[in-house]
């Protein structure tokens, strides 16, 4: 039973993740988190495995890994837990952990500061919705690789779709969704190449990207809603990648 004082705080909080906390309480997240969970192809069982969730924010994926039997889960974040604007504070994660009675651990650390000495190493690492926010994506992936013993799951914006070689779009201002925290979006070949350069022996693209007719229709829809330009929406999508240290 969730205490009424905690329920009140949860109901008044601005959430990013949509989390079922039980007792009839579901956070009003702006993200369709259940759909994202389906897309990332998370192993159905994580029994006996350790998990690091980088960029955990409200913690949905951390708690889901715990639910799937992981022996230890560490949620890490810094930017989303220390927003000066009151959006993405750590309060959501802490309230959700209390409501769920979870044992997920938390570490306040920037991606660029990750190392085995600071956080240890983990069987499975989640890196969801973070890569395109980083000024130095290859260096960041090298940091992530250093704490990954086996499997890394990456979910990110991709751009330059249709170019037949590794490439990336650079957003020096607000070119991606008007958000100045977005910096780079490689195409799928670019993400795979970055992961191999970071030290992963086996990489596969999990997402089947939609074809040109669907992307064109979606681009028109986005343009009508003022969310993006036609050309930009046509060449962009989101994709998931699984990378393993060993073959």
Is residue 46 assigned to a domain? yes
CA dihedral 81→134→28→242, nearest 10 degrees, is -120
- Digit-coded pLDDT (tens) for 33-78: 999 999 999 999 999 999 999 999 999 999 999 999 999 999 999 9
Output the pLDDT for position 165: 95
Average pLDDT, whole number, for the chain?
A: 92
Output the pLDDT for position 56: 98
Residue 91 pLDDT exceeds 70 = yes
Residue 245 pLDDT exceeds 80 = yes
**Nearest Cα residue to 83 out of 116, 101, 58, 46:** 58
Cα within 13 Å of Cα(140), Cβ side: 18
Residue 1 pLDDT exceeds 90 = no
- Digit-coded pLDDT (tens) for 124-157: 999 999 999 999 999 999 999 999 999 999 999 9
Is residue 178 assigned to a domain? no
Is residue 30 assigned to a domain? yes
Contact (CB, 8 A) for 132 and 160: no
Tell me how long the chain is. 247
CATH code assigned at 96? 3.40.50.150
Is residue 159 assigned to a domain? no
Number of domains in the chain: 1
Is residue 228 assigned to a domain? no
Is residue 175 assigned to a domain? no
Q: What is the pTM of this model?
A: 0.93
Is residue 164 assigned to a domain? no
Cα within 13 Å of Cα(98), Cβ side: 14
Residue 178 pLDDT exceeds 90 = no
110: exposed, middle or buried (Cβ count in 10 Å: 0-12, 13-18, 19+): middle
Average pLDDT over residues 7-17: 95
Bridge partners, residue 221, by sequence = none
Is residue 47 assigned to a domain? yes
Domain that holds residue 126: 4-154+188-207+238-244
């Amino acid at each position: 039973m969730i205490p009424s004082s905690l329920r009140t705080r949860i109901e008044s909080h601005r959430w990013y993740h949509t989390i079922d906390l039980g007792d009839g309480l579901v956070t009003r997240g702006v993200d369709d988190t259940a759909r994202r969970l389906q897309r990332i192809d998370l192993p159905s069982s994580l029994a006996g495995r350790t998990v690091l969730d980088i960029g955990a924010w409200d913690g949905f994926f951390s708690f889901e890994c715990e639910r799937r039997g992981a022996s230890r889960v560490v949620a890490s974040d810094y930017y989303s837990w220390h927003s000066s604007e009151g959006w993405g504070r750590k309060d959501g994660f802490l309230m959700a952990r209390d409501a769920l009675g979870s044992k997920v651990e938390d570490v306040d650390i920037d991606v660029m500061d990750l190392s085995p000495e600071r956080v240890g190493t983990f069987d499975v690492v989640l890196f969801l919705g973070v890569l395109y926010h980083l000024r130095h994506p290859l260096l960041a992936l090298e940091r992530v690789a250093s704490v990954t013993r086996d499997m890394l799951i990456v979910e990110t914006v991709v751009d330059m779709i249709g170019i037949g070689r590794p490439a990336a779009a650079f957003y020096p201002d607000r070119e991606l969704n008007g958000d100045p925290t977005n910096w780079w979006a490689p195409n799928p070949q670019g993400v795979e190449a970055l992961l191999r350069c970071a030290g992963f022996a086996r990489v596969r693209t999990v997402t089947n990207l939609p074809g040109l007719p669907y992307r064109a229709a979606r681009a028109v829809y986005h343009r009508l809603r003022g969310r993006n330009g036609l050309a930009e929406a046509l060449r962009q999508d989101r994709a998931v990648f699984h990378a393993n240290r060993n073959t």
